[in-house]
Amino acid sequence: MDQPESAYTPTLATAARAITAARIDDFADRWANLDPSNSETVKKLRVATRRLRAAWAAFKPLYPRRKSVKRLHHQLRELTTILGATRDAAVLRQRLDDWAAAKRTRPALAPLREQLAQQETAAQAALIAALDRLDRATLVSDARKKLLDTLPLVAGSAEWDTASGDVPVTLAALPLLRTRFAEEQAARTAALETLDAVSLHNERLAVKRLRYSLELFAAYFAPTAPTIALLKNLQTQLGDLHDCDVLISMVAAAQAEQPALGEAHARLEQRRAALLKQHVAYRRKIDKAAWSALTNAWQALLDRQLSPTAAELEQATDLPIEDWPHARQVQRLALSLFDQLAATFRLDARDRAILAHAALLHDAGMVDGPRHHHLLSYKLIHKAKLPGLDKREREIAAQVARYHRRDLPAAEHPAYAALPAEQQAQVSRLAALLRIADGLDYEHDGAARALVASCDEGSISVTVSGAAESEITRARVKSGLVAPAFGYAVRIVAA
């Protein structure tokens, strides 16, 4: 499927602001039109709340002070839970009438219907109380203040992850979408193998997460609309199956004391079999046609990171880079560390430019194989004409790349020894950051999504989201240059 992407490609920070603003507006509108006794308006506010939470989760690395959002996050989660309880009770009562009730089963079902009605009444009362306590105007104002107004757009701010924010949204979104597609594929495979309630429920959750993630970036990827349409159908089918499984469980639990529920139980099992047959047939049909074509189109987009952008080619000049995704990931992580530590250690814009080149080109020497490739990287960068760097800065960038692995800078290394003490310190500091970043992509899988770095009482703390345990371990192993370079110990942990 050959469809062009949107011609306008903003940075992640710009896109995050637009998407978050739209999500807050939708949330405010749905709340304004809420009728707690109307399950459809309850559903719409629940979906809007989930979409707002999905935006916060996707753009979390961009926020400078995430703890300030913690209370808001808890409030939104609480609201989602209460809205869900309100709608679920109403839907289950209606499903019970539609699927299990008949002239002969209606009397036996009366206690269950009454139980669900009481649950619905209690849930509506809890919702009304929560709405009064949370207050729409206050919560919407807090969302704008904490999710929108604190989202910086000025590159170079020392308080936020500019290395993530400056990336085009069509590149920045790829790791999240790749994860969501992989989750959906794994859940689908498990569900089709077992067809049990737990696996089908997990598939429903994976489909929902993929849909919400795609909706965030719908304006920037052409295949989004038809993909979401299929996901909606799957979500509806799997939701019906989940409701049926819940009702079967309820009826089975009550059947021990009410044997007359046996016929209702049988009717629900028949309904489940019909729903399951319909879902499996639809799943297999789209897997052979529409879904297959769409996933092929998405795979081409998700693999696009294998090729460099025009800006990256210009930055690399004619130096060889065999693994662009790894080079890009290491550069992003290294600059993220830099941006969060720059103010504390008085690192400036020229340091950042040097590190950006060194990180992108650190594996240039792999052109002759992995053995001693760091030494060849030094030679290649030393001879190159890198845009934006003068001769002195190019030498520093070459040495930073040279020290991304193996030996630490030492007086017995002639090139390093020839540098003035100030430039030696510069090499050590930038190389220390590069070594950690390189370790965090040890598997070359791009799994590390974000990191938070801070300094406190003589120690640098780095908390990493998404990286494998082997990558956290490798980063720790490679962090030995931090103490001599910065005079601080370093602690690297998974989020």
Q: Where are the domains of the chain?
A: 12-302, 310-444
pLDDT tens digits, one per residue of 216-229: 998 888 788 999 99
Per CATH, the homologous superfamily of domain 310-444 is Hypothetical protein af1432 (1.10.3210.10)
Q: What percent of the chain has pLDDT over 70?
A: 94
pLDDT tens digits, one per residue of 224-281: 899 999 999 999 999 999 999 999 999 999 988 888 889 889 999 999 999 999 999 9
Q: Which residue has the higher pLDDT, 462 or 103?
A: 462
Assign 482 a pLDDT band (cuts: 50, 70, 90).
very high
| Alpha carbons 19 and 113: distance in angstroms, whole number | 41
| Alpha carbons 490 and 453: distance in angstroms, whole number | 10
Is 310 buried (19+), middle (13-18) or exposed (0-12) by CB count in 10 A? Answer: exposed
Give the range with max mean pLDDT: 84-98, 154-168, 418-432. 418-432
| Alpha carbons 362 and 356: distance in angstroms, whole number | 10
In the predicted structure, residue 437 carries a pLDDT above the cut 80: yes
Query: N- to C-terminal Cα distance for the chain?
Result: 38
Mean pLDDT of the region 299-317: 77
Secondary structure letter of residue 168 according to DSSP: B
pTM of the model: 0.65
* Residue written as token pair 């007359």: 260
* Per-residue model confidence (pLDDT) at position 5: 38
The pair of three-digit structure tokens given for residue 75, joined into one six-digit string: 């409030």
Mean pLDDT for the chain?
88
pLDDT tens digits, one per residue of 65-79: 667 788 888 999 999
Domain 12-302 CATH class label? mainly alpha
